[in-house]
Amino acid sequence: MSDEFYIKRCLELANIAIGNVNPNPMVGCVIVADNKIIGEGYHQKFGEAHAEPNAVKAVFENHGQDAERLLKQATAYVNLEPCAHFGKTPPCADLFIKHQIKKVIIGNRDPFSGVDGKGIEKLKNAGIEVISGVLDTECRYFNRRFFTRIEKQRPFIILKWAETANGYFATLDGHQKWISGGLAKRLAHQWRTEEDAILIGKHTAIMDNPQLTSREWPGKNPVRLVIDKSLQIPSSNHIFNKEAKTIIFNEIKTDVVEHVHYIQMEDMHFYLAQKIAFQLYLMDIQSVIIEGGANILNQFLQADLWDEARIFTSHNSWDEGVPSPIINGNVIEQINIGEDKLTIYNNINK
């Protein structure tokens, strides 16, 4: 099998933990000897063992007393450079050195300052052959949330909305009226399990009273983020229930009341998108879905602070309504979700 085959297998393994390792990257590791996979693993949960020790552990579980011999002649594949520093776990590069792995093949070099070539250097200094940059573009896209946070000091920002066939986003009177169908809703709940947080504005919170949970898909709930400058949302609103942590950005107070965190910001009518993006970076929130309303979505669009947009288009039309935001991006995918069409864009400026 080719190096690319095994790196793709690393990505398959790493993807199992999507949404569970943030703000760490998703990493998989495959160990090969005699053209056979002898062990594989992935980083399963933030704070727990990385992919490399899980793969080495699998070698010992699969091969017992023969494991040490096999490791000395093995090639280890990993989609991101092994770490070289002590964090919540020991350095993975040291583990490969300890077991005298013959060769290490890497997808991406790690942009984090604590690694950034140091893992590769440590492996080479120990006499281990290292090849990096295999499927570099594909691996970078796979960990785009992590790379965005490290390189741009902000979360990966996903815009999401539904619109009618003739381009309406919401009703004129502000009352909730569903646009997309049940399959689109279920997919949106799956997305929530994959990202750290979900953001809405005050108007959406009051008029729609959304729960912002992942109740229709197994997995964790995202952190709920709400913009409420003057703290006008009623305490009976669903966002204040105990289903998930809720953060309220406002101009009045900073406080913590059980699972609800109030974060005070000054002059929220200036550069709001930029302020929120940087605040989320400071909070180690690596990715966020912005669901509206139109004003909030347009603020992030106007600030050019977005990376991906996911737009459901219904086959139904309305006579009138609030016009949908205007997106200017590259179409990277179009698929049918039931009777709706899903179009995914990325930002042409990023």
Residue 10 annotated as part of some ligand binding site:
no
Q: Is residue 192 a known part of a binding site?
A: yes
Integer Cα distance of 64 and 129 in angstroms = 25
Between these two residues, 91 and 276, which has the higher pLDDT value? 276
Of all residues in the chain, what percent carry a pLDDT higher than 90?
Answer: 90
CA nearest neighbour of 291 among 233, 205, 214: 205
Instruction: Give the three-state DSSP class for 123.
Output: helix
Give strand pairing partners of 66: none
Residue 29 labelled as part of a binding site: no
Residue 50 is labelled as binding a ligand: yes
Catalytic residue among 52, 194, 195, 308: 52
Q: Residue 292: what pLDDT?
A: 84
Convert the pLDDT of each residue in 246-304 to its tens digit. Answer: 999 999 999 999 999 999 999 999 999 999 999 999 999 999 999 988 999 999 999 99
Whether 87 shows a pLDDT value over 70: the answer reads no
| Domain boundary assignment for the chain | 3-148, 154-347
Give me the residues paired with residue 104 across strands: 76, 130
Check the annotation: does 272 bind a ligand: no
Which of 63, 121, 76 is CA-nearest to residue 103?
Answer: 76
pLDDT tens track for 190-227: 999 999 999 999 999 999 999 999 999 999 999 999 99
pLDDT at 174 over 90: no
- Over residues 69-79, mean pLDDT: 97
Question: Is 139 marked within a binding site?
Answer: no
Ligand-binding annotation for 204, yes or no, is yes
pTM assigned to the model: 0.93
Q: Is residue 81 among the annotated active site residues? A: no
pLDDT at 86: 67
At 349 the pLDDT is 78
Domain at 154-347, CATH homologous superfamily: Dihydrofolate Reductase, subunit A (3.40.430.10)
Which DSSP category does 285 fall into? -
The pLDDT tens digits of the residues spanning 32-69 come to: 999 999 999 999 999 899 999 999 999 999 999 999 99
109 is in an annotated binding site: no
3-148, superfamily in CATH? Answer: Cytidine Deaminase, domain 2 (3.40.140.10)
The rounded mean pLDDT for the chain is: 94
Spacing of C-alpha 232 from chain mean position: 30
- Pick the closest to residue 23 from 42, 7, 47 (CA basis): 47
Q: Are 282 and 274 in contact (CB under 8 A)?
A: no
**Residue 251 to residues 231, 232, 254, 268, 341: CA-CA distances in angstroms?**
8, 11, 9, 7, 39
